[in-house]
Structure 1
Amino acid sequence: MSHLSPDRFCAVVGAEGVGLGRWHATQPQWLGSRAFTCDAAQPAWEAALQALSALLAEHAVRGAELRVLLSARYSRFCLVPWSDAIGNPRELDAYARACFENLYGQSLDDWRIVLSPEPAGAARIATALPQALLQGLQALSRHSQLKLRSVQPYLMAAFNRCSAKLAQGDFLFVLAEPRRSVLMLAAGGAWQQVLAQGCADSDQALQALIDRTCELYGEHMPPVYLHAPGRGDVPQLEAVQLCQPAGDSDPLCAMWRAVA
């Protein structure tokens, strides 16, 4: 009899905790979460990996598949304008790194950059992830005898799940994680801006952030879509359409359920 597990696991690596969900056959099951605290002398992802290792040891079975979703805390985002001078993937990667360096004022040599697929002539959204974190997840998967299938920023998973509901051409998509929000503005069918910043978890703070971003759009506010699975309550904001399931007391569980 085979001891390999048919289960598929999905880990959510949040800013202050990690969570784990499982699909057994077609049945989803939330297994729980584990909080962690960060030592100022170490990167935040090191404490997250330690917490995830302990959580996997409680639940995972040899041979199962693992998918990982990363909080915006571990990602950096940048708009990469179109350039006719780019002729191959290596030049595109170097160009994207230059855009990040110009935005953040430091080199991202130790980060992996992933660019959104866009048609010719359109700007791309670039996401940078620490190479050390990705290597740590690979090592943890091998140690836990799991098959690491994917590592993805939660922003991308949430946007892809909500994309069918978005207006064509012009919109503002807002991901509101606990204490951090990411906003992606599209106009004329192309990306115009991506912004990530700390934000209080109140309706007032989130509304102010949305209003400031929409001011860049012009006279007419585009449709605004909010994905805030980390909120236990339902945000009450003006002219905002929600892209999320019912609230959950555990933000990590809510994030998992939103894209499960």
Structure 2
Amino acid sequence: MSLSLLDNYMASVSPAAVALVRLRRGFGSKIFASKIMDKWHTQFTGAANDTPWSTAVSALEKLLQKSAAGLPISIVLSNQLVRYKIIPALPPFSAADKVLAVARHGFRETYGDMVDDWTIRVNPVPHGDSVIASAVDSALLAALEALTLKYGCKLKSIQPFLMSGFNQLHRRIKTLPACYVQIENGRLYVALIRDGAWHSITGSVAGPDWPQQLSALIAREMLLAGWQHEQAIIYLAPANSAEDSRSSAAFMQSSVWKTLPAPQPAMTGYAVASDQAYAMALSVAR
């Protein structure tokens, strides 16, 4: 087998940056870990009259031009380009169209007619009774599909960052209450999970003192969930900047909760201290 057949692209798209990684998948025993073959990253400021994602799609096109390999690609979307809702448990064996209708109704109650321009997807939580619904601008999805087709890249998946990160974590979460935290482009995202079910998802602007802000945000969410007397485990996702990595380390040392780094797949060519810009793209690696 040609080794190039094991190569894939992992990309991330956010309103202020895009990244593209060429990853060679590991195989067989753990000795053959996945390996980063190449990586590209760019930051930018979008035009004031643009949609939040149009500059990002153009930037990703430039990276695909530079890489010029036409490999299968998985894309991770910034949480800033996604809306989330937790849908309470529905009767067993509910039809997929019914579940989607419930999710769409929930988004419409919050956002009104904007929902007509969104693509909504629902994802049952493994071993849980909740459904996570995500909504993304349909025009963004169409633009990414057209871009990958143009450069001969088979589009394997488009996933929200929160979901791609959680997919690497969910096997570790058992019956104890857990809190999954992502720090991304000046925002904090906090999700509470227990017994395989999602209880809440919230986002907040991250200030310069965000470790203290995060402690207060977790405490508030746990109080609202009735967990104020519980000892939750905090799973902290890799930060996507050097400054946030330092703040994450400070939070882990000072936190009153048991705090662990969220798991990452084994791979060579990735340095936590210097490759933060690629953390989001690599969250979809398996």
TM-score between the two structures when normalised by the length of structure 1: 0.87
Q: Is residue 191 of structure 1 aligned with residue 204 of structure 2?
A: no
Q: Percent identity?
A: 30
Assess if the C-alpha contact under 8 Å between 1:167 and 1:223 holds in 2.
no
Assess if the C-alpha contact under 8 Å between 1:86 and 1:92 holds in 2.
no
With 168-177 and 77-86 compared, the bigger mean Cα shift is at: 77-86
Shift of 1:52: 0.2
With 7-16 and 163-172 compared, the bigger mean Cα shift is at: 163-172
Alignment of 1:160-179 (within 5 A): 160-179=167-186
Q: Is residue 224 of structure 1 aligned with residue 234 of structure 2?
A: yes
2:39 to 31, 40, 43: 31
| 2:249 matched residue in structure 1 | 235
**C-alpha distance in 2 between matches for 1:39 and 1:96:** 32
TM-score between the two structures when normalised by the length of structure 2: 0.79
**C-alpha distance in 1 between matches for 2:5 and 2:197:** 43
Assess if the C-alpha contact under 8 Å between 2:9 and 2:21 holds in 1.
yes
With 102-111 and 144-153 compared, the bigger mean Cα shift is at: 102-111
**C-alpha distance in 1 between matches for 2:158 and 2:36:** 19
Assess if the C-alpha contact under 8 Å between 1:169 and 1:187 holds in 2.
yes
| 2:278 matched residue in structure 1 | 253
Q: Is residue 154 of structure 1 aligned with residue 143 of structure 2?
A: no
Shift of 1:250: 4.7
| 1:54 matched residue in structure 2 | 62
**C-alpha distance in 2 between matches for 1:157 and 1:119:** 14
Secondary structure at 2:214 match in 1: helix
Shift of 1:58: 0.3
Alignment of 1:42-121 (within 5 A): 42-62=50-70, 64-84=71-91, 87-118=94-125
**C-alpha distance in 1 between matches for 2:83 and 2:61:** 24
**Residue 15 and residue 250 in structure 1: after superposition, are their counterparts in 2 closer, same or farther (change >3 A)?**
farther
**Residue 249 and residue 106 in structure 1: after superposition, are their counterparts in 2 closer, same or farther (change >3 A)?**
farther
Q: Which runs of 5+ in 2 are unaligned?
A: 27-34, 265-270
Assess if the C-alpha contact under 8 Å between 1:182 and 1:197 holds in 2.
yes
Secondary structure at 1:235 match in 2: helix
**C-alpha distance in 1 between matches for 2:20 and 2:40:** 6
Assess if the C-alpha contact under 8 Å between 1:170 and 1:189 holds in 2.
no
With 138-147 and 189-198 compared, the bigger mean Cα shift is at: 189-198
**C-alpha distance in 2 between matches for 1:161 and 1:21:** 18
**C-alpha distance in 2 between matches for 1:88 and 1:120:** 18
Which residue identity is paired with 1:232? S
**C-alpha distance in 2 between matches for 1:120 and 1:159:** 14
Q: Which digits, 9 at most, give the CA deviation of each residue in 1:168-217, with x for residues without a partner?
A: 35222122212122222124442221223322363122222222212213
Cα root mean square deviation, aligned:
2.7
Which residue identity is paired with 1:12? S
| 2:17 matched residue in structure 1 | 17
**C-alpha distance in 1 between matches for 2:263 and 2:276:** 12
**C-alpha distance in 2 between matches for 1:187 and 1:83:** 18
Hey, which bits of structure 1, 4+ residues long, moved more than 6 A?
none
**Residue 259 and residue 148 in structure 1: after superposition, are their counterparts in 2 closer, same or farther (change >3 A)?**
closer
**Residue 82 and residue 163 in structure 1: after superposition, are their counterparts in 2 closer, same or farther (change >3 A)?**
closer
With 70-79 and 156-165 compared, the bigger mean Cα shift is at: 156-165
**C-alpha distance in 2 between matches for 1:24 and 1:85:** 40
